[in-house]
Structure 1
Amino acid sequence: MLRILLALIVSASLAGCVFTPREGPLSAEIEKQSTQNDYLVVDVDSKVVDGLARFNPVGLHSKFKSTSHRLPISTVGTGDILAITVFEADQGGLFTGSSGNRAEFPKVVVDNKGEISLPYSGTIKVKGKTPLQIQDLVVERLQGKAIQPQAMVNVVQNENNVVTLSGDVTKPGLYPLSSKGVRLLDVVAQAGGTKFPARETYITLMRGSRQGVQLLETVIDQPDENIYVSRGDRIYLSHDPQRYTVLGAVQKPSVYTFDSSTISVLEAIAAAGGLNDNRADATGVFVFRYEDPKVLDTLNIGYTHQVRGKVPTIYRINMKHAQSYFYAQSFHLQDKDSVFVSNARAVEIGKILQLMNLATSSVRNIATTGNKVEVFSD
């Protein structure tokens, strides 16, 4: 009877290998399940590392490519105040007076119809025109009335060429655009800067129906991303620290924030206290990421499954190879990436042996108890 009981307990222990508690799948299970769950497993090598490093995600420069490096044209709009001076070539003309052969109109307001009105010129449609174009219109209206007229137009109060800046800045509000052009960082500087570090702040630019988002630190580091702003742009700065997660067989699994502009897989593992020597499978260091399909195209990796436009991808690094430490050092994490270190197979076998020892111990205890019962019966 005791032998039968022992066999049953040991069999249950061996069958229990499927149910031994652990924090995540083994390396082999991730490989096997990839064909069932429609995610990619990509082994990291020099080609993958170089391809990821060369890929440039769509930023503000690409999103607003048509105007990103072109100086915006400053035009007049409703509410703007103009200073207009008209000159004549000789005495005795329409504007001859104590100040000479000229007339000054220092505060000409563009009305809600986008028009202004000047003596001898009548009503002029100026909305959407540049100061130089308005000068030509004034001169045209004065032809045949004034003596070889000339005009000079300046915008003294700009109510139309403004951008809206809001969010995590010191002084949110409306900011005018100068004729020399204003870039994103110029507007942020006018607002007194941001409330949080640049690596923790995202800048969103909304222009009509288009919208682009970029990390402020990237805008600072990459001049191409510091694009010209245009009239009517809405700029929003938000504090959203980049984070990554380290799980599995490491010393300190947790969620970590980026403490620099870039974090490599090697630095992430080091921040988590390194691999757990008693548990970690060095061949199973994984980075979980919803990857941009364009990245996979760049790497010539085929895929079929998409979630929200992204492809669920697992990058695998075999840390038993010395070369892989260079790959891990060059593989930079992205916001919301997850690094997972799987348990070694030996750890699972150890758990099974513990269960067998527990089962054997239980049988011995039962046997001892049974013997005592038999002695007592005699």
Structure 2
Amino acid sequence: MEVVKRMKRLFSQLKRGTRCSGVLQICRLSGAVVLSSMLGACAVAPGMRMSTSPAANATDAPDAPRVVNATDASPEVPITELNMALVRRMQDDQVKEQQTQVKLLSTVPQAYTVGVGDVLQIVVWDHPEIAAALGGSQAQASTRPGDPFSGFVVDQAGNLNFPYAGTLHVTGLRTEEVQSRLTSALAKYFIKPQVTVRMASYRAHEVYVDGEVRTPGVVAVNDVPMSLYEAISRAGGFADTADQSDLLLVRQGATQRINLTQMLTRGVSPSRLYLRPGDVLRVVARDENDVYVMGEVNKPVSAIPRRTGRITLADAIAQAGSVNSSTADAAQMFVVRGALNGKPEVFHLDGRSPVAMLVAKEFDLQPKDVVYVDGNGLVRFNRVLTLLIPAINAGLTAGLVAK
């Protein structure tokens, strides 16, 4: 403030026509202003940067943990240093989580049971008159693709109406069980009836395959247990935009995320995962699982995972055109994760050593991670000068004009 007051007094003297030495004094004062701005350049530098400080309960040791400075909108978050030991530990945790998931989803396939809407083909040998119950249409082909095959349809109540046998409740029964009940019911009217029951059309049980497959829609479940692979294959296979590491399986109100890529990497066959009637399988698109790369990189970008769904820290930086060698501080690379799930995490990588590049190559990013590369001190200092020098030059010009 004292410097400003002195400059005002000198400008007033120039207006009254005082000596030229006032201009020299203004120049000296301007130089003092520039010097003071140089000392505080890093503190007042414009632009985005990651501000950190030692943890509140930490000592002043050089290796003391740090936290991201708290603001009114966010709490303090500890910073985790990225190294190979941490990457291995995270990979081991992924393996354990996947093994638990496989045990949960790997169930013994159940035999197909008759349901509402199924069509049964029933033959009573040596009694062709019973076929008349179909109105002679049993041998006729369906005229439209949506028409069921001819036969006896299980009604909405789950019942089967058959001549002489009457009404039988058949939902939840296997075909051999239906055959046994029909034989017992017909034995009241025929001597040792020979009955054959088989499925003519599977319409009761379905799974739904949605998302990035070539032909999304309803897939009918038949007597062959439907594995995860078969469901995707019957939906036309993966589309080019599919993220094979992110499949959502919705079963009875619970959602499981299946990483098909990691399963294959760990030697786990996805054919062990069987779908159940009513399951919904959605294949997520890769552009839904992008990560954001910003800061001092050559091309800030929303990085897209590969077709396998995997994207590492090195991949993301490469898609951003690498770090800016003129402005970036390689020692200040951050990964911000989990801002919306209530468990935010911040990872720090000192990228000045070749070992750090190995860590970046193995550290897997998660969807919606934010990768930020901070700028170096010289860049922030230069930005301050860029803003201050025009103002100082304007003041000097005003002084000279006033004289």
Q: Same fold (TM over 0.5)?
A: yes
Letter of the structure 2 residue corresponding to residue 234 of structure 1: V
* 2:117 is aligned with 1:79: yes
Secondary structure, aligned partner of 1:164: strand
Q: Which has the higher strand share?
A: 1
- Equivalent position of 2:359 in the other structure: 327
The structure-2 alpha-carbon separation of the partners of 1:253 and 1:362, relative to structure 1 and needing over 3 Å to count, comes to same
How do 1:79-118 residues align onto structure 2 when only pairs under 5 Å count?
79-86=117-124, 96=126, 107-118=151-162
User: Residues 281-292 of structure 1 correspond to what in structure 2 (within 5 A)?
Assistant: 281-290=329-338
SS in 1 for 2:379: helix
What is the DSSP-based 3-state SS (H/G/I as helix, E as strand, rest coil) of the residue aligned with 1:230? coil
Shift of 1:120: 4.0
Question: 2: distance between equivalents of 1:169 and 1:268?
Answer: 26
1:199 alignment partner, SS class? strand
**1:275 matched residue in structure 2:** 323
The 8 Å contact of residues 85 and 103 in structure 1, kept in 2 or not, is answered as: no
Moved more, 58-67 or 271-280: 58-67
Identity %: 23
Q: Is 1:227–2:265 an aligned residue pair?
A: no
In 1, Cα distance between equivalents of 2:274 and 2:398: 82
- Note the residue ranges of structure 2 that are not aligned, 5 or more in a row: 1-9, 11-24, 56-64, 139-150
Contact 2:123-2:195 at 8 Å conserved across structures: yes
Question: Alignment length, in residue pairs?
Answer: 345
Cα gap change, 1:184 to 1:260, in 2 (>3 Å): closer
Asked whether the equivalents of residues 86 and 150 of structure 1 are also in contact (C-alpha less than 8 Å), the reply is yes
For structure 1, the residue ranges without an aligned partner over 5 or more in a row are 88-95, 291-306, 374-378
- Match of 1:56, SS state, is helix
AA in 2 matched with 1:25:
M
User: Once the two structures are superposed, what CA deviation does each residue of 1:7-49 show, in whole Å capped at 9, x if it has no partner?
Assistant: 4564456456433223322566997552633323100112211
Deviations 1:190-222 (A, max 9, x none): 233354433379543333322334467668876
State the alpha-carbon separation in 2 of the partners of residues 163 and 122 from structure 1.
32
Q: How well do the aligned residues superpose, as a CA RMSD in angstroms?
A: 4.0
Deviation per residue, 1:73-94 (Å, 9 max, x gap)? 311112211122346xxxxxxx
- Among 293, 302, 323, which residue is 1:255 paired with? 302
Aligned to 1:133: 177
Q: 1:67 to 1:118 in 2, by over 3 A?
A: farther
User: Is 1:34 aligned to residue 68 of structure 2?
Assistant: yes
Distance change in 2, residues 1:220/1:137 (3 Å): farther
What is the distance in 1 between the residues matched to 2:216 and 2:277? 17
TM-score (norm 1): 0.74
Secondary structure, in 3 states, of the residue corresponding to 1:48?
A: helix
Tell me what 2:20 maps to: none
Corresponding residue SS for 2:315: helix
1:312-323, aligned counterparts within 5 Å?
A: 312-323=344-355
Question: Given the two structures, how large is their TM-score scaled by the length of structure 2?
Answer: 0.70
> Given the superposition, is the C-alpha separation of residues 68 and 150 from structure 1 closer, same or farther in structure 2, using an over 3 Å criterion?
farther
Q: 1:318 to 1:57 in 2, by over 3 A?
A: same
| Alignment map for 1:137-216 (pairs within 5 Å) | 137-142=181-186, 146-149=190-193, 151-199=195-243, 203-214=247-258
Distance in 2 of aligned mates of 1:215 and 1:238: 11
